[in-house]
Structure 1
Amino acid sequence: MESFTLLRQKGVSSIYVRKGEYEGYKAVAETRGIGIVEVERKTDPASVAPGYWYLSNPSAINGNIIPEEEIEAVCEAGHQVFYDLAYLDSTRPHEFDVRHPNIFAAVVSFSKTYGMFYDRIGAVFSREPIPSLYGTRWFYNPEAVLKANAVLGSLQPNELYSVYRPGQEAIIDEINREYGLGMRPSDTFLLGHLTADDAKKLNAEQLALIARHKRADSYRFCLTPYYLERDPEEREMLLKWRDYLLAEAEGILTPQQMDELKKMIKGVLEQ
């Protein structure tokens, strides 16, 4: 998220995000003194003043692929786009076009699709240098880079989607049988979603059950915990990671910081 540092150096005071977008944008932007302007998905980008848009694709709002013409419309309206491709390689084959000159940076991550969130591996591709990232040249983790290279080298194109899409559908079928939600599979195999119209069909008890999953006027559900239930070995590894982090932090962090760390770890385990 060092792109926010760059924007602050440029004198940018606010960015655009769609309602229901990844909450991390707001959290980090606030630490740099940058405000958030939330816009509806149907907002015509030409109707707002040119600025910087942070867009995830597949969308963190519902896990579905944003059509390329929507991204292009933002760019053609004179906006600069930070393109978050964290869910890359978790959908059917799709070309995410980053060629437009107004896409000022694009990022990829190994945390979601490849399940390597405890390794913190990712990459940023920027059209201009991001000075605050320069220091990482001296402190990068060779082991993490080797892991990333090994993972990519072991997979065929579309392999993960082919393997996990049936599991996604089975998980959602189970949830719908138990709770009657009418949940739909998202384009990324990691998520399920409900549209605003779907939610109108639910009763008060069902809406209360899913309230914390609401994003704007729709709902997004992370399926990772269900995949972990089907893979006890992976679940055990994550729990060991949790215990290690907490043991290392004990006696160093304040009680308040420990509470924040526990919330962060819980969020990772439930992503």
Structure 2
Amino acid sequence: MEKIKFAITSKGNQISNTLMQKMKTYLLDFHLEYDENQPDIVVSVGGDGTLLYAFHRYRNRLDKTAFIGVHTGHLGFYADWTPDEIEKLVIAIAKTPYQTVEYPLLEVIIRYTNGGREARYLALNECTVKSVEGSLVMDVEIKGQRFETFRGDGLCVSTPSGSTAYNKSLGGAILHPSLQAIQIAEMASINNRVFRTIGSPLVLPGHHTALLKPVNDADFQITIDHLTLLHKDVKSIQFRVASEKIRFARFRAFPFWQRVRDSFVCDD
């Protein structure tokens, strides 16, 4: 039987770094192999932001790597283990065949007016689009048909697992991550007698594609999760459910609605 290869990423603060070293020592004692380049399992120690960084670091081997989150602050949507459970987690990784759950990702393809060139990104949480100057003005196409011209501060396109993040603060719905879907939420749309948008979040199924086409010649600030990018000469921005998925290693149940309740409702 091949040794399990593992890597650990840390938030970088003292408690996370200490836990990272502790876990690394324990797992090596169990004869697992530390491999930062080609890990079977990546343990993220910190919070959801730390796991986002880990996801982007290993996005080219999503079919080979499973993620585990340890939270050293508030309960995370991706981090289900606590610091006092480290020994239990280490034994589980070393001794227990793990199950994996898969969550959908967002594919973002940006095409440019100079032709031929395009950029492709994967987002675990969301992509946001804003104009560098003034209002964002975009023609929105859904499944190849023009839907509306959006005018406002920006648009947020999220995954189901990212629906609890920025999307929720914009009034978007919380989607269960078993759904193969993406959601489009508006940021301060302009609605009056002249300009009109749908004014509601849209949930698109996996076989639908959304396309944004700039109405004017503007530069755009585009975020992919925690990454902020400036794009010029944009012809279109395409969104759909990605063919790739993120895989989480599960050693116990981690119910999504329980996480939602604990994060937003629970006061006991």
TM value normalised by structure 1: 0.24
Bigger strand fraction: 2
Question: When the two structures are superposed, what TM-score results if normalisation uses the length of structure 2?
Answer: 0.24
Name the structure, 1 or 2, with higher relative contact order (CA <8 Å, separation 6+): 2
